[in-house]
Amino acid sequence: MTKLILKISAILIVVLALQPAQAQTGTYGDALSETRVVKATDLEKTMQGKDAMKIKVEGKIVDVCQEKGCWMTVDTGNGNEIRVTFKDYAFFVPKDASGKKTVFEGEAKIETVDVATLKHYAEDTGKSKEEIEAITKTETKLTFVATGVEIGN
């Protein structure tokens, strides 16, 4: 009987180990407030004429830093993405959260991103050496520093 239990346990462990990992859902960083949520597709329009604003946004995660989960990009629906970093580097999100729905709160900004930072981001996403070396100009981008993030399915 003991051998049967051991065999079943071993098979169960192997089967569970072979299951693909699922991104964890939940809240990372601070809990989100009850303020109104703006769709990521409407964020640029909402910010019209402003360089920065505190806001809560919902969207779909496109990519996550594969080094630590220290940033994510969110689809804006117009071929662009918002790069979301986390305030004071205080928390990270699961590296396998791409494709998940998210709501995040903090400060959206229009800023100029320098070449070194753009190259660093390209490295984090696994771009080739040639793609990284091709980055030679700063870019003005919509960025976001989140104080809290919720990830759903």
Burial class (CB in 10 A: 0-12, 13-18, 19+), 14: exposed
DSSP letter at 25 equals: P
Label residue 122 by pLDDT band (50, 70, 90). confident
Give me the pLDDT at residue 25, please.
77
Give me the pLDDT at residue 93, please.
96
The two structure tokens encoding residue 45: 């329009």
Select the more confidently predicted residue: 123 or 146: 146
Label residue 19 by pLDDT band (50, 70, 90). very low
Indicate if the pLDDT at residue 130 is higher than 80: yes
The rounded distance, in Å, linking the Cα atoms of 72 and 89 is: 13
- Class for the domain spanning 23-151: mainly beta
33-78 residue pLDDT tens: 999 999 999 998 999 999 999 999 999 999 998 888 999 999 998 8
Mean residue pLDDT across the chain: 86
Indicate if the pLDDT at residue 14 is higher than 80: no
